[in-house]
A and B are shown apart, each in its own frame.
Chain A
């Protein structure tokens, strides 16, 4: 089986669009000092750019949900897990959670569980570069770079960090 690959839009333009939506969101919710957390690894790359564009002062938070996955019993332990690092108080904070692709929603559920183990945030909003079809949980993003309707056998993958590129692969 050969994988068919096709590139997707200009990632930089999608990030600009995300930043614009987030600015609107922050303004309408009267949030002046949010913190931003990226989910390892693609979410961290996107979050770095968003942090610059939104001029967020607090350092970037890194979240690695490996210890919170709901499929640990199926896939076992991965020996090289970059630890999560949230270099700010989580209590009472308005959090922008960033991932590259929103698919089943399980990663986001795990990420929210992990964030709550660090403290009780005031709010969490979700920003994703790609919102693709296939949701299995009631989770939706507040800011979306691009929405894609994909079949289960199709995958969208972000490579990076330099340059950032999106690619759809499908098992033909």
Chain B
């Protein structure tokens, strides 16, 4: 079964959440609406609702992450679930235990949901195919493939500022080739009705077949963000320098770093997003990252509401079908 097929149950509801690809506009909108109702919980004296009381969520992280793991953890805790954080790279696998054995061991602890982060594309899909029927899997980022909750918190942030998607001019800037965030964003933005979607970056970091997804490619930053309503900057992964895809960080910043001067070619009310962690002075200038157009910290806050929504929708559907 494909990722898209395996993540929906027979009634078309989320069973796993692996990718934004192939999900309907209605379902994406439902997730955003549900997140909007959870957003208020973060402002309470007791930041908790009892929805997932007694459920166990396991953060299964095969790759380092701070913000994704902590916001998933907070989201689960605000729904009153119990959370276990497992950093697998420093755990059993280093003692030679296979992935399947690790999964079965965790299943024997009667958990209800895995949040999976892995360096290999397809890892979350693979695990979703392996787990017992009562367990759901959420993809917290797999290789270059997908990072669906990040894409949805970006959609939530855009909707907060721009209301509706059709008619928006959106530019995704940077290392698109290695970015699971970009891939998930493109699918979500297209499904939600964005027609003017631009990909901006150096030739070596843009996949040749990307136009098949209905985007336009720009190699010049100022041309690519002209009149943009939304700019999302991608993190430049430093290891790309070593692989000789780029000459130097300094030169990258000169061409593709977002500065206040370059930002002038966008619309006056443009919002600037970044999935984090940011490299100041590499893909984004400090004055832009902290400036009036930046919504980077709002994205983090929205991430908690989105992750609460996805977990609650999945658990709601799962318990009902039992």
Contact = CB atoms under 8 A, between A and B. Distances in A.
A151 interface: no
Contacts of B319: 72-74, 76
Interface string B1-45: 000000000000000000000000000001001101111110011
Contacts of A118: 44-46
A80 B313 CA distance: 12
B49 to A, nearest CB: 4
- Which of A67, A76, A117 gathers the greatest number of chain B CB atoms within 10 Å? A67
A79 B34 contact: yes
B interface majority secondary structure: helix
Contacts of A116: 46
Contact of B320 (A76, A84, A117): A76
Interface residues of A, number: 24
Q: How large is the interface on B (under 10, 10 to 19, 20 to 34, 35 or more residues)?
A: 20 to 34
B140 to A, nearest CB: 20
- Which of B36, B37, B38, B48 gathers the greatest number of chain A CB atoms within 10 Å? B37
Interface string B308-322: 000011011101100
A122 interface: no
Given A83-B36, A83-B39, A77 B313 contact: yes
B51 interface: yes
B75 to A, nearest CB: 13
A76 B316 contact: yes
Interface string A58-92: 00000010111000111111011111110000100
Contacts of B320: 73-76
- Which of B33, B44, B317 gathers the greatest number of chain A CB atoms within 10 Å? B44
